[in-house]
Amino acid sequence: MTAPLLKCEELSVRFNIKGGSLHAVESLSFSVGRGECVGIVGESGSGKTQSCMALMGLLPRNGAATGSVRFRGQEILNAPRKAMDRIRGDSIGMVFQDSMAGLTPFMRIGEQLCEALVEHKGMNNAQARARALEVLDILQFPQPKRRFGMYPHELSGGMRQRVMIALALACKPDLIIADEPTTALDITIQAQILEFMAGLKRHTDTAIIMITHDFGVAAELCDRVIVMYAGRMVESGNVADIFDRPQHPYTQALLRATPRLDSDPDAGLPLIPGRPPDLQHLPAGCSFADRCTQVMARCRTERPPLMPAFDAHLSACFRNGQS
Ligand SMILES: Nc1ncnc2c1ncn2[C@@H]1O[C@H](COP(=O)(O)OP(=O)(O)O)[C@@H](O)[C@H]1O
Ligand SMILES: [Mg+2]
Residues in the chain: 323
Distance 303 CA to ligand 1 centre (A): 22
- 27 contact partners, CB below 8 Å, separation of at least 6: 10, 11, 12, 67, 232
Residue 42 CA: which ligand 1 atom is closest?
Answer: 22
Calpha distance 46→227 (Å, rounded): 9
Cβ(19) to ligand 1 under 6 A?
no
- 108 contact partners, CB below 8 Å, separation of at least 6: 148, 149, 150, 151
- Torsion 75-96-64-254 (CA) sign: negative
Amino acid making up residue 182 = T
| Residue of 50, 62, 278 best suited for mutating to test ligand 1, as the one with most atoms within 8 Å of CB | 50
Residue 53 CA: which ligand 1 atom is closest?
Answer: 17
Calpha distance 164→191 (Å, rounded): 17
Distance 44 CA to ligand 2 centre (A): 6
What local confidence, expressed as pLDDT, does residue 64 receive?
A: 98
Cβ(50) to ligand 1 under 6 A?
yes
Amino acid making up residue 12 = S
Helices 157-170, 125-138: axis angle to 10 degrees equals 130
Cβ(45) to ligand 1 under 6 A?
yes
Strand order in the sheet with 37-41: 92-95, 175-179, 207-212, 37-41, 224-229, 232-238, 313-315, 307-310
Cβ(279) to ligand 1 under 6 A?
yes
pLDDT in tens, 177-204: 999 988 777 888 888 888 888 888 888 8
Amino acid making up residue 220 = E
Cβ(17) to ligand 1 under 6 A?
yes
Closest CA to 66 of 33, 30, 96, 23: 23
Residue 44 CA: which ligand 1 atom is closest?
Answer: 23
Backbone angles phi, psi at 15, to 5 degrees: -115, 135
Q: What share of the chain is helix, strand, coil (3-state, %, to 5)?
A: 40, 25, 40
Exposure pattern of 6-17 as b/e (b: 16+ CB <10 Å)?
A: bbbeebbbbbee
Q: What is the largest CA-CA distance in the chain?
A: 67
Tens of each residue's pLDDT in the chain, 323 residues: 578 999 999 999 999 999 899 999 999 999 999 999 999 999 999 999 999 999 999 999 999 999 999 999 999 999 999 999 999 888 999 998 877 778 999 999 999 999 989 988 899 999 999 999 998 988 888 899 999 999 999 999 888 988 998 888 888 899 999 999 887 778 888 888 888 888 888 888 899 999 998 888 899 899 999 999 999 999 999 999 999 999 999 999 999 887 655 555 555 555 788 899 999 999 999 999 999 999 999 999 999 999 999 999 999 999 986 65
